[in-house]
Structure 1
Amino acid sequence: MLDVRRLRLLRELSHRGTIAAVAEALVLTPSAVSQQLAVLERETGVPLLERSGRRVVLTPAARTLVRHTEVVLDRLERAGAELVRARQGLAGPVRLGTFPTAARAIVPAALVALAERHPGLEPMLSEIDPARLPDALRAGELDLALTHDYDVVPVPPEPGVAVEPLCVEAVFVAARRDTPGDPGTPGLSRWRDEPWIIALPGTSCEVATLRACEAAGFAPRVRHRVDEFATVLALVAAGQGVALVPRLALVAVPAEVALEPLPVHRRTGVAHRAGAARHPAVAAVTAALRESVPPDLTAAP
């Protein structure tokens, strides 16, 4: 019978690309990972890895095995949920990943509700780059996580990860009140000649700004690159440029800043390992998060 732990290593290799990355993520040595994969190869009786320069790549048989592994791990998550439901009450740690604006606007109220309903549950919060969420969930570093994408930058599904919609928020263009842009131009193109403040390269917020401007017929002239929205709003107030800002980031907006809604939205979801939706702790945290969505946001069904 194939060992699930070795199957998990093969699945991780398919997602992370290198044995070194798998070893780092799972706190193992590269030689230990290689040895376990070699044992798995002997157990299956077929080649699973082949050399490509200095890297190893999965063979077609290995890719088939990974697809079956996703199903196996999904069923194991479901089995674990059934066992937890057989016990009385919820207790122990549950690890929640989040992005900064949700950590401020949604998570605190959810933690208060959880403490009242399930005092034995120990939520453990970590801010994490959304790009790392799928790997962190699959590796067991997190139990669930708040994630987001923009309707102009949809995120493709990740193997082994399920996402439940939570809420939808409007996106605004933030500009200093004495920076009218081109009054005769409608929509986002009104600010085509202004300097822009956008997020760091490779982030979904950066790509969303670039896509929205592209749809409006121009490429933004980038002056500053900042991720933290409070700093972005302070720079806008200082006349340093204009920026796109989602609703959850609109806390203590400086008086000098004017906001105009755009036909762009950011969607927040609760992500967890496939098969874990009915795990009592995951379900309890998800329910508390749903109840903590600010009332002026559109709640997802």
Structure 2
Amino acid sequence: MLDVRRLRLLRELAHRGTIAAVARALAYTPSAVSQQLSTLEREAGTVLLERTGRQVTLTPAALTLVAHAEVVLERLEQAAADLAATREGPSGPLRIGAFPSAARTILPAALVALEEGHPQLEPHVHELDPAEVAAALRTGEVDVALVHTYDFVAALPEPGLDTIHLFDEPMFLAAPRTMEPLPDDDPLRRWREAPWIVAPTTTRCGTMTMRACEAAGFVPRVRHVIDDFPTALALVGVGSGVALIPQLGVADPAPEIMLVPLPMQRSTWAACRRGALTRAAITAFASAVRSAASNLQPPRP
């Protein structure tokens, strides 16, 4: 009989690539991970890993087993969701991952709604970059997490995860009131000669900014690379450049900053392990976030 815990280790190895990375993620020692995978090979009766020095490669048999492991783990999540449905309302701990702008603007009201509507639920919030969400969900660090997508940046499907759409928010170009744009029909191309403040291109926000500018017919002249909306707005406020900011990032803009609405948006989703989407605690959380988002006031244009 194949052991589910060892199947989980094999799946993590397929996603992370090295035994050391699996050990760090799951709080094992590398030798313990190797021993468990060797035991799984004996259980499977076939070679799962090809070892070359410190490198390991999954064999075709291992990849087949990983695909089955995804199905098994999904069914276990569904079983947990079905058992939870037999209880009277959601209860117990709910570990929530959230990106900073949502944690600052959306989550406080959502947590109040959860406490009032489901007093037996115990939410625990972890601030997470969306790039870290998939790994945190698979290892069980969080049960549900907020992630976002931007126009111009397609979201790649993550094996073993489900998502549900929560809300959309408009994008704004933040510029100093002292900076004059060029005349143009395109609201983004007007700022083609301005210095730009962008997030790193390794982030979705940074990729979105570069692609949006390229679609408008220019390459932005990057002056600052900042992965934090409040810091970017502070630099805009002192005249250091312009930046693309979603609504949640400009809840209270300074008077010296003007916001230009753009025909673009950022979308926020709730992500969870596949099979857990019907879990009462997760549906309650999604409902609370949607309600909180619907009550947001648009920023001053």
Same fold (TM over 0.5): yes
281-290 vs 96-105, which moves further: 281-290
What do the CA deviations read for 1:68-93 (whole angstroms, capped 9, x no partner)? Answer: 11111111000011111222343321
| Distance (Å, rounded) in 1 between the aligned partners of 2:37 and 2:256 | 59
| Distance (Å, rounded) in 1 between the aligned partners of 2:283 and 2:193 | 48
In structure 2, the partner of 1:16 is 16
Rate the CA distance shift 1:233–1:88 in 2: closer, same or farther, 3 A. same
In structure 2, the partner of 1:170 is 170
TM-score normalised to structure 2 length: 0.95
Give the CA deviation at 1:53. Answer: 5.4
CA contact (8 A) 1:81 1:279 kept: yes
Give the CA deviation at 1:52. Answer: 4.6
Q: CA RMSD in A?
A: 1.6
In structure 2, the partner of 1:135 is 135
51-60 vs 118-127, which moves further: 51-60
| Distance (Å, rounded) in 1 between the aligned partners of 2:138 and 2:23 | 14
CA contact (8 A) 2:93 2:121 kept: yes
In structure 2, the partner of 1:122 is 122
Matching of residues 149-168 of structure 1 within 5 Å: 149-168=149-168
In structure 2, the partner of 1:87 is 87
137-146 vs 45-54, which moves further: 45-54
Matching of residues 143-292 of structure 1 within 5 Å: 143-184=143-184, 186-292=186-292
What is the number of residues matched between the two proteins? Answer: 298
Give the CA deviation at 1:271. Answer: 0.4
| Distance (Å, rounded) in 2 between the aligned partners of 1:53 and 1:205 | 39
CA contact (8 A) 1:167 1:297 kept: no
CA contact (8 A) 1:175 1:257 kept: yes
CA contact (8 A) 2:161 2:274 kept: yes
SS in structure 1 at match of 2:294: coil
SS in structure 2 at match of 1:293: helix
Give the CA deviation at 1:185. Answer: 5.6
| Distance (Å, rounded) in 2 between the aligned partners of 1:290 and 1:297 | 14
TM-score normalised to structure 1 length: 0.95
Is there any run of 5+ residues in structure 2 with no aligned partner, and where?
A: none
Is there any run of 5+ residues in structure 1 with no aligned partner, and where?
A: none
SS in structure 1 at match of 2:188: helix
| Distance (Å, rounded) in 1 between the aligned partners of 2:175 and 2:225 | 16
What do the CA deviations read for 1:105-126 (whole angstroms, capped 9, x no partner)? Answer: 2111110011112212110001
| Distance (Å, rounded) in 1 between the aligned partners of 2:32 and 2:184 | 65
In structure 2, the partner of 1:65 is 65
| Distance (Å, rounded) in 2 between the aligned partners of 1:91 and 1:166 | 22
